[in-house]
Structure 1
Amino acid sequence: MNQNMPTQLVIGCFIALSCAPWWVYSQNGDNRTLVNMTLVRNASVLGAYCLDGSLPAYHLDRGFGAGARNWLLQFEGGGWCNDIPSCLERAKTHRGSTRFMNKLEVFSGILSNNASLNPDFYNWNRVKLRYCDGASFAGDAKFDNGTSLLYFRGQRIWRAIIQDLLPKGLGQARKALLSGCSAGGLASFLHCDNLTNYLPKNTSVKCLSDAGFFLDERDISLNHSMRSFYESLISLHGVEQNLDKSCTGFRYYPAQCFFPQYALKYIRTPFFVLNSAYDVYQFHHILVPPSADPKGHWYHCKLNPAACNAAQIRILQGSVSSANSFRKIQKRYAFGIEFLLPAFQKRRDVHKFLLCSLSKRVARNMVCC
């Protein structure tokens, strides 16, 4: 890879590599890899717990052949919790406790061991880091009011899993790719540089975020709903102490460094970003969150883009300007932008924008180490 271009920013199809395993199933029939869960038994020494106090976990499928010393680590996604009630509810689910997680996990997409579906990584050591902290593996706090107890220990979970993997071969990796989808894609921004601290200096390390480039933008009512959400999350989980100091020292609002658009310029490790210009989550929660549409004018449009009226289409088209603005980053920081989705149009098959996939050529150029 060209060392003068540390980051490739690819704003494209939403389900290309690590998201939407159903797409892979449809191409692969019943040929799926099931991988056992590994609990991190010594995590308690580090105080690394899921929200409910259960031990963190991961799934490891061993590499072989030429890929035996290469590692692909994928953060699981699954949203966030930003207040005590939502975190208490989350702690009762597989998003907050390994007690409720499937002990066997399907490995597909970028985690597949099928060479025809995953030619670049099929024979690597592939690891899925289970998500149970509610803050993209970034918090370090605890809530205890005498009645309820919650652990906000995502940062410690990250450290515990990595330390568990080091003696299993990660410590001798030749190549390593840290990836993630959605909230896990955000985690890849937060931990990309940190991974290099655990690995030999001659290890080739790169990072990939799939559908994790959440934007700090105003919603249709001109409020910063997502910023407010993240600020409450950061305060509750004790995240700020774990954000990049180079970023937090520069921003007037340190919490903004939880947003990839601000954190990216401080990441030194080669980074690839894959994101849809019409990401469903960002449409529903950043551009048109429920608080900005109390009368439900956007209800049908959010269910089916083909039902959007002309004014709504214009707003959606305008939201792409936020993605286009990162061309300025390309000029200043030598970040490469591969492609954008075509203009959002009102037509019967518009929903296909959310179902496209990267060509093998683009995918290979983007993530091949």
Structure 2
Amino acid sequence: MKIAIDAMGGDHAPEEIVKGVEMARDRYPELEFMLFGTESEVKPLIQSMDRLELIPTTEVIAMGDEPVKAMKEKQDSSLVQAANAVKEGKADALFSAGNTGALLSSAIFIVGRIRGVERPALATAFPAFGGPHREFVFMDLGANAENKPSHLYQYGILGTFYAESVMGISNPRVRLLNNGGEEDKGDDVHKAAHQLMKNTDAFNFLGNVEAREIMEGTADVVVADGFSGNATLKAIEGTALTMMGQIKEAIKGSGIRGILGALMLKPALKAMKHKMDFQENGGAVVLGVKAPVVKTHGSAKANAVANSMGQIQTMVEGKLVDKTAEFIKENADKLKVKKAAK
């Protein structure tokens, strides 16, 4: 199987992207890679062309570019050309660490949206520190800054499917991220979405959840509008990094007794750090499009890129997109019944 790679997307591109791809090539012998990028910058970084093809491009979509405009105007960009390769059947999946909005636009308008899905969304498996499961599905993480109630309702359906088919969670518990647990909390969009979710049999809805509670394992699927989901994700990431840094500094400043204690606790601290490293298990998946599209963090280093390649292999081998399309088709009545609530 082939993966189309946007080699120029991300804070550390193309160095870390190329390094990550070559790490993945060593790990996953079934994978082949199509690297799209500026030849003069990418080619010198490649150690071996084994199972790797470099397709030169002349433009780059920057992190600060307006997504749709950049996608339309920079036709020879690494991201757009990689998306075209997927559309034309030359590659099985698309990967980028670059501009999230441009990737989503490329996924929708080039790769194509699955019929019946109103608004594709970014979803990821997020760590849980309580409850029956180690992880939960969190979506949308920033694909859409604004959402309608019907979009959030559909995310409940898509998230339930992902939790069941990919994570093996039976009858996933779905909650709506809001600023309070009561059903009358939030703005008009969230109030309307709550009612749609409350009155459906399409998934197991248990009500609202506040941001401070989502990592306690109280839900298997947390649905959010893109703005709130992205802000929550970054707040948690920032807090985790700060806390780990503060623990390290406290140990250093506590003398020999603190250092000895830290050595005894090293396995536990390492396990906690591993669980809080949101790049360890790959990237976020664009659910609702016709091929696997994965977006990893803009600051991703080589190991995160390589992990994302493994994640994509699992998605392709498991025929996730085909199963999603079939699931949407089978549940068309549940998706359409709420159209009037947009």
TM over 0.5: no
Higher helix fraction: Structure 1 or Structure 2? Answer: 2
User: What TM-score do you get using the length of structure 1 for normalisation?
Assistant: 0.29
User: What TM-score do you get using the length of structure 2 for normalisation?
Assistant: 0.31
